[in-house]
Amino acid sequence: MGRLSWAVLLMGIWAMAGQVQANEAPLAAKVLVIGHRGASALRPEHTLASYGKAIADGADFIEPDLVMTRDGVPVARHENEIGGTTDVASHPEFAARKTTKAIDGHPVTGWFTEDFTLAELKILRARERLPAFRGTAYDGRFQIPTLDEIIDFVAAESATRGRVIGIIPEIKHGTYFQKAGLPMEDKVLAILAAHAYTRTAPVEIQSFETANLRYLRGKLGKDHPNIRLLQLMDDPGEHPYDVVAAGGRLSYGDMMTPAGLREIASYADAIGPGIRAIIPLAADGTLGRPTALVHDAHAAGLELHPYTFRPENYFQAKNFWQGTDPKTFNEAGSVAEIRAYLAAGIDAFFTDDPALGRKAVDGR
């Protein structure tokens, strides 16, 4: 989607806001800090070290994105293509597995988790995904964890720290993996049920697709009150890939309308839009006025769990920058920006630096 059409759609959402003020009350009793891929500003994402740092820094939830191995094991990677987040390219024994695939309708070249067994993936080590912004001192130290390993780790951390820590797994590329013969939904539910910790601790399963969340709602019913569902949302002009694969026309913009939100509320508990769908940027890159999205979602009974707050200048609204270098690690700016969104009424949020998220929420 082009920049112009994205801006037009945001302006449309903004126009619907009328006189919406930045003081909407959250639905949630407690605003939750979610460690986005762990503490991914400080450790390589989706490693036990990253999740551990997030927990130590006060995250209420940690987020494992899930993809599948060739032998059907859910592991934590942001994408099934792992060339950018592991050292796979340095392993000559895997050189022949580099290939190009169509992932959700887009050609992607690299190495893919579904072409590796779990034992083979365990040979690899994680790397920093954004080396231009973040240090690489931890590259090569950590393995790719499985969902089972993550649950055991969080359970141990919870027992040690004396507080409950939630898990918010994302099912990545659900339609793609189903067509590859590696459906993830029932596997994830079975793993959650197999661990005493996740039979009672808060869990929120998320997806950018819709059909798998509807399926999960049907499977869960009211028998698993600790498991909630989060409908993620991309740019308004984009479409959930399961909708595209089925020949449908529903867009994320359609889903952000009052009618669309009421439909989501029939199968999900919360929505996860990008932060700029809640408060867009003005033409000069500074923070604008809130849209109607928080108000409309709350009216439909949905919480808002937006993504993602990051501590570097580059990812922040211009009015929060410290200096002019996009790479500057700007703690004060991140806290100030999060607080602007808290004032807009969000119920939880994803952050790459949970310590800053904790500071923003707790008022320290």
Residues 334-343 pLDDT 10s: 999 999 999 9
Which long-range contacts link 158-164 to residues 24+ away (Cβ below 8 Å)? 158/197, 158/201, 161/55, 164/201, 164/202
pLDDT tens digits, one per residue of 247-256 = 999 999 999 9
Residue 13 and residue 295 in contact, taking contact as beta carbons nearer than 8 Å: no
Average pLDDT estimate for 268-288: 97
Give the helix, strand, coil percentages of the chain, each rounded to 5: 40, 15, 45
Angle ∠(153,155,161) on CA atoms, nearest 5: 100
Q: Is the pTM here over 0.85, yes or no?
A: yes
Nearest to 39 by CA among 18, 56, 26: 56
CA distance 39 to 168: 14
Distance between first and last Cα of the chain: 39
- Going by pLDDT thresholds of 50, 70 and 90, the confidence category of residue 363 is confident
Q: What is the pLDDT of residue 22?
A: 54
Q: How many residues does the chain have?
A: 364
The DSSP output letter for 123 is: T
> In the prediction, which pLDDT does 11 show?
44
263 has a pLDDT exceeding 70 = yes
pLDDT tens for each residue of 49-83? 999 999 999 999 999 999 999 999 999 999 999 99
- DSSP per position, 65-85: EEEE-TTS-EEE-SSSB-TTT
Q: Is the pLDDT of residue 19 over 90?
A: no
State the Cα–Cα distance between residues 168 and 202, nearest whole angstrom.
8
Arithmetic mean of pLDDT, 320-339: 97
Q: By C-alpha distance, which of 17, 55, 21 is closest to 38?
A: 55
pLDDT digits (tens, 9 = 90+) for 151-207: 999 999 999 999 999 999 999 999 999 999 999 999 999 999 999 999 999 999 999
Average pLDDT over residues 345-351: 98
The pLDDT, as a whole number, for residue 338 is 98
- 108: pLDDT strictly greater than 70: yes
pLDDT in tens, 82-95: 999 999 999 999 99
d(CA 66, CA 84): 16
Nearest-5° Cα angle at 274, 292 to 218: 90
pLDDT value, residue 223: 83
pLDDT over 90 (residue 24): no
The answer to whether the CB of 311 falls within 8 A of the CB of 271 is no
Tell whether the model's pLDDT for residue 321 goes beyond 50.
yes
Which overall architecture, per CATH, does domain 3-78+143-362 show?
A: Alpha-Beta Barrel (3.20)
The pLDDT of 206-214, averaged and rounded, is 98
Q: Are 170 and 206 in contact (CB under 8 A)?
A: yes
pLDDT of residue 221: 81
pLDDT given at position 15: 40
Whether the pLDDT of residue 266 is over 70: the answer is yes
Give the pLDDT confidence score for residue 303 in this predicted structure: 98
- Least confident span in 5-19, 224-238, 244-258: 5-19
Give the pLDDT confidence score for residue 12 in this predicted structure. 44
Are 253 and 236 in contact, with CB atoms under 8 Å apart? yes
Q: What is the pLDDT of the chain when averaged over all its residues?
A: 94
Burial class (CB in 10 A: 0-12, 13-18, 19+), 192: buried
